[in-house]
Structure 1
């Protein structure tokens, strides 16, 4: 089992084929998917053939980037995933992502995992900026970003093309929501001042 990092309570490890049931359950909880696709369930075939294979891809040049299964250190229970991926337009900027099972909400696990990934990105991976996005009404996710020192940098509307290009969930419904997405960012210099 390849482990990226461990925190006080979490272990982030590579995804394996055995995680299909975990991802299927996660993406079929309507509350988990509420701000992603309106709570629409993801077909098991989509999880098996698109999502999990994408999560298992490893870039041999930058193996520390990608998607990581999150589990509790003490018992190994799957609680979701985190991702850190370089942006195509600037390899020193990375997009951060996370999705946790509902049973793990409200315990500070998202903040703990995000904080650890940001630290790894700035201290070890040569990043100078980390960004994350969410739907404007996803208050819990926005609070996580703010707790780790990220600040709101822009509001934007997703296009149908952007929805179709996403790799963290799949939907046939390309209707754009009546609301904005928001992007938060943290620069390395600002992160260093917080340490």
Structure 2
């Protein structure tokens, strides 16, 4: 699946050559504060956990994977949007309910890039399969991400402990039904 450019941004499905980009993004404690309390991701975790997991859910035909987000005007890589079935790593993945997630360099915060990218990918995936539902999770104190979820039309479903190989965290789940 090809994702066309949005107004200010272009998109490319990421692969193992993006390891350094992933590492650099996760070195800002303010970025990571909203993910895991501020702990930087180690290079070993990028190579041994993040990249292998990304390869497991990547499906270019369906648009699943991590999409690198680049500013068209400057060609600066500013973040990523994740697309994968909710619960992909569980015993009961939700194939028709796609989880959207995002992480952006702090220098791009407050400019609408994450909202533009998340909505653009959601819309592109909806055109491909109108029966899809979309959801997102965020640390319950991450007001900016929750604002994006609400802006997309998602509504609160629940708060729960999200299990992850890099650490468990309390999150809120928001959903946008098809």
- 1:7 partner SS: coil
How far did 1:55 drift?
3.2
CA distance in 2, matches of 1:155, 1:17: 32
CA distance in 1, matches of 2:55, 2:160: 30
Report the aligned-residue RMSD: 2.1
How far did 1:116 drift?
0.7
Q: 1:163 to 1:24 in 2, by over 3 A?
A: same
Instruction: State the TM-score, normalized to the length of structure 1.
Output: 0.79
Instruction: Name structure 2 gaps, 5 residues minimum.
Output: none
Q: Is the 8 A contact 2:29 2:39 kept in 1?
A: yes
Q: Could you list the runs of 4 or more consecutive aligned residues of structure 1 that deviate by over 6 angstroms after TM superposition?
A: none
Residue 19 of structure 1 is matched in structure 2 by 18
- 2:176 partner SS: strand
Map residues 1-150 of structure 1 onto 2, 5 A cutoff.
3-56=2-55, 58-59=58-59, 62-87=61-86, 88=88, 89-150=93-154
State how many pairs are aligned: 172
CA distance in 2, matches of 1:28, 1:44: 10
How far did 1:101 drift?
0.5
Larger Rg: 1
Residue 193 of structure 1 is matched in structure 2 by none
Q: Is the 8 A contact 1:3 1:11 kept in 2?
A: no
